[in-house]
Amino acid sequence: MRLVLKAALLILGALILSIGIALPFAFRAVDALEGARIALAAAINSLSADRNIGEAAAHLERAAEEFNRVKKNIGRVQYLRAVPWVGRQVKAAYAGGVAAHLAVGAFGRAIVSAKDAASILASMTKVRVGDIPRQERMVLLESLNSSLPDLQETALDLERAKEILKRAPKTAVVSALRSRLEELDRYVAVSARVFSDILPLLQIGPTFLGYPDPQTYLVLLQNSDEMRPTGGFIGTYGLMRFDTGHITEFFTDDVYNLDRFVPGRTRPPAPDPVRRYLQQPYWYLRDANWDPDFEASAKRILQFYDEEVKYQKGLAAAKSDPDKSREPGITPIHSRIENTADLAGVIAIMPEAIRPILELTGPIDVRGQTFTAENLTDALEYEVEIGFEQKGIPRPQRKEIIAELGHALIAKIFELPVNQWPEILHSARQALDEKHFLIYFTDPEAQSKIETLGWSGKIVSPAQDYLSVFDANLFSLKTDPYVARTIFYRATKDQGGRLIGEVEIVYAYPRAGPAWKTKGYRSFTRVYVPKGSILTSASGALTEEFAKPGAVELTQEFDKTGFGAFVAVQVGEVKRLRFTYRLPDTVAAPVQAGVYELLVQKQPGTLGHGLTVALDFGKVPQVWNPRGLNVSRQGSQLTWQTDLIQDQQFRVEF
């Protein structure tokens, strides 16, 4: 017993001695971590507030020295990592040192790589792209374009640093060390997000912004309150020209001011649902986004625009005063663009892409109306549907307020301080990811990039299971915000071992909005599933608004099988569309081999329909993704309850 006690005392004494020797090194490490944190903060401040590149580089150099001190001092006490409590402090401090060293190196590499761009930004006294001479804008975009590989490596290092800090011990860590690590974690997380936003944008940014050659785009303002396949009704079209990052020319107009000049006999017949439910026999630009695949719609939009401009003999006649309320430096170009050969592509913008920007710029006053992030759509709709008559504005000029708001918003964006540019980039990235901003390039190489990034609005062809739902509001009213949609998808095996898919879309219309903008809701809904799927039953389709059963339209397009049906919902009602179908071997064979994958694509312009996915193939799932609180497993069934803010992908291994 005495020997055991003596041995224990010796071990305890050695441990205390080791800790006593280690403590000075630990304190020095924590002190160095604080010094490094201060230097890193100073470097970030020099870049964001003072725009002093040389000063930022000096701070980063000092931060690197401090982080080396952290690693050096922690390295001397690595032998204590196995000691309870003490080891947690060592591991936490070491993780902070390694992560911060990665972050500092990443920042330094980014500054060196994009030094020309950084120098131009640092020298700016007014944060407005139009104030930068064209030659400097050329250098800026060239620098950003050429620095892309190094910036990608920077982003990887920041992600590595973020992961290291995520794995660092959090509990039972002394407060001084924990607070320093938490602040470092915030710096790294914010920086990683900025680079995550910037890098994909840089892949298309220079080309999109008119570098090395100016680019002119056909712009569509799609109103998601009146849903159409690619995001909303095309109420306003326009033209926008970029020259090395500067919007040099900008024009918008009411789409009816173009359509109304074109005789119906010259137009092609409208799609059958448009003819049947809108009583519109001819196909005009306003309805040209009928294809759910944005690339297909964009090509038709360019075709229709070209045809209608030729008949209208120049858009200048459609505006009584094209110079009215025009911002200095921005000139109308509609009279000079007469065919699609002059256009670099099509841009579709939905209201949700603009709201985050208005949150940054603050309210904008136009013609006595204050537009905010909260009232943007409602206020604009009222002005162009009701308010213009009360103010005595002729109907052809009712949407000039949109152009004025656009000019004012552009001016406000370029007046934002440089430290808010990351928020603008984040808003742009979010709008692209969530399909509130779509781009089609006529140049195949640029279009390929946009497709790779997932910003083209294209209906893709995954290797296995697939689902997408597209509504088309065919009541010419702004009822969509008042109708909630939930999508339920279930994939199972029948008694014969065949895979069965079942999709149900629930439409709930609990209350009406203002009488001038809402009434009953009518939609021609299309559901796309894997090519080769065989419809076995359907319910909920109507022939007209008052509950007469209708047929399902079967199509084969976009390398998919499509089911189309008309549905109508009155205030206070809940309606359901349901389709049951046999899935093809392209889905069944991988399941038999032990893997199932599903891609659910969202409709552009939608705000995030509720989505429930339930899978039961009679096999117990072993691995699944995504994981988290919104997924549950009961025996062989997996159920996700999520939303469609973005496209969703699911994978299961059995």
- Write the pLDDT tens digit of every residue in 271-305: 999 999 899 999 999 999 999 999 999 999 999 99
**pLDDT value, residue 60:** 62
The pLDDT of 5-34, averaged and rounded, is: 49
State the pLDDT at residue 234: 97
Q: Read off the pLDDT of residues 382-407 as tens digits, 9 standing for 90 and up.
A: 888 888 888 888 888 898 898 899 88
Categorize the per-residue pLDDT at 552 as very low, low, confident or very high, splitting at 50, 70 and 90.
very high
Residue 352 has pLDDT above 70, yes or no: yes
605 conformational bin, left if phi > 0, alpha if psi -120 to 50, beta if neither? left
Neighbours of 268 (CB within 10 A): 12
- Please tell me if the domain spanning 215-452 has the same topology as the one spanning 465-653: no
Secondary structure of 199-248 in HEC code, one letter for each residue: HHHHHHHHHHCCCCCCEEEEEEEEECCCCCCCCCEEEEEEEEEEECCEEE
H/E element holding 598? strand 595-601
Q: What is the pLDDT of residue 28?
A: 56
Closest CA to 366 of 323, 318, 396, 406: 406
CA angle 434/299/531 to nearest 5° reads: 70
> What is the pLDDT at residue 131?
66
What residue ranges do the domains of the chain occupy? 19-208, 215-452, 465-653
Whether the CB-CB separation of 597 and 626 falls below 8 Å is answered with: no
Percent of all residues in the chain with a pLDDT value above 90, rounded to a whole number: 48
Q: For residue 290, what is the DSSP state?
A: T
The reported pLDDT for the residue numbered 294 is 98
The domain defined by 215-452 carries CATH number 2.30.30? no
Which amino acid is residue 412, in one-letter code?
Answer: K
- Mean residue pLDDT of the chain comes to 83
What CATH number is given for 465-653 in this structure? Answer: 2.60.40
Query: Most confidently modeled of 52-66, 88-102, 235-249, 301-315?
Result: 235-249
Strands in 295-419 per DSSP E: 345-349, 364-366, 369-371
Query: Averaged over 83-91, what is the pLDDT?
Result: 69
The pLDDT confidence band at residue 598, using thresholds 50, 70 and 90, is: very high
CB 510 within 8 A of CB 572: yes
Highest average pLDDT, of 26-30, 135-139, 393-397, comes from 393-397
Q: Is the pLDDT of residue 499 over 90?
A: yes
Output the pLDDT for position 295.
98
Q: Classify the C-alpha dihedral 65-67-70-72 as positive or negative.
A: negative
| Least confident range of 21-25, 99-103, 448-452, 531-535 | 21-25
CA distance 161 to 95: 9
Could you give the percent of the chain with pLDDT greater than 70?
78
Structure confidence at residue 226 as a pLDDT band (50, 70, 90): very high
Q: Which two tokens stand for residue 313?
A: 């003999």
Query: What is the average per-residue pLDDT within 170-192?
Result: 78
Look at the block and give the residue holding tokens 């905010």. Answer: 372
